[in-house]
Structures are given as structure tokens and as C-alpha cells.
Amino acid sequence: MAKKPAPHAPAEKVALYEKLVATIPEVERKGAANPYTSVNGNMFSQLLPNGRVSLRLPAADQADFIARFKTKNTEQYGVVQKEYVEMPDELLAKTKEAAKYFRASFDYASSLNPKATRR
């Protein structure tokens, strides 16, 4: 059996992300090289290769989050991901505070229509 690839993000960020994911027991971290979480087929968080956490939030919550933490929408491969915001490193390091936003992201994704599975 082939060995799973290690995450692209720095190890300390992977550990903080896993601690954050553990705040919601029913959520499972997925992705070996690119860690993420999803519910009903809808991704709601991801750990980017640069070590930043990206959260999926509804539009009203995004604006508040961006203003409060002086951050921005997530951008990957030159494309702005309109529903995702980047979590500042300082917030990620405060698991208890970050967990409120992680829960909001989970709740938002849970409210979306389930995506069909490939299986």
C-alpha cells in the first residue's frame, strides 16, 4: 500500500487546523496533501499550502469577518473564491475563538443542498 502524502502546509499549521477540526466531533478532516472538511458534499474549510485556513461563510458573515480581522476572500490560482475568507494566523492560534467561526462555516455548509456523491 502506498504511503499517504504529507500535507503541503507547515506541520505547525496542520496541527492547529486539526485542533480546530476536533472542536466539532462529527467533522472528519479529509485530504492527505490538502486537508479540508466538508458536510453533505459541501466543502467548508481548507488548509491552504501556504498554511492559511480558508472558511466558507455566508455573504453577511464574510463582510463582518473581513472587517474584524483585516483579511480578505481566499484566492487560489488567481481566482477569488467568493464564499471563502482567509483566517488570520493569530486567530488560528486561538482555537476557542476560531471555533466560533469554524462552527458558523459548518452550519452554513450544512444548510446548503447536498451534493451528489461520485460513488
Q: Per-residue pLDDT tens, the chain, 119 aa: give them.
A: 556 677 789 999 999 999 999 999 999 999 989 999 999 999 999 999 999 999 999 999 999 999 999 999 999 889 999 999 999 999 999 999 999 999 999 999 999 999 876 66
pLDDT of residue 115: 84
Distance set, CA 29 to CA 11, 14, 18, 84 (Å): 15, 11, 7, 18
pLDDT of residue 74: 97
Quickly count: other Cβ atoms within 10 Å of residue 66's Cβ: 15
Is 95 inside a domain boundary?
Answer: yes
> Which residue(s) pair with 73 in the sheet?
85
pLDDT of residue 1: 55
pLDDT of residue 2: 59
Is 16 inside a domain boundary?
Answer: yes
Is 19 inside a domain boundary?
Answer: yes
pLDDT of residue 3: 64
Is 28 inside a domain boundary?
Answer: yes
Is 30 inside a domain boundary?
Answer: yes
Query: Where in the sequence is the domain holding 32, given as residue range(s)?
Result: 11-55+87-111
Long-range contacts of 90-94 (CB under 8 A, 24+ apart): 92/13, 92/16, 92/17, 92/20, 92/53, 93/16
Is 81 inside a domain boundary?
Answer: no
Is 2 inside a domain boundary?
Answer: no
Is 68 inside a domain boundary?
Answer: no
Total structural domains within the chain: 1
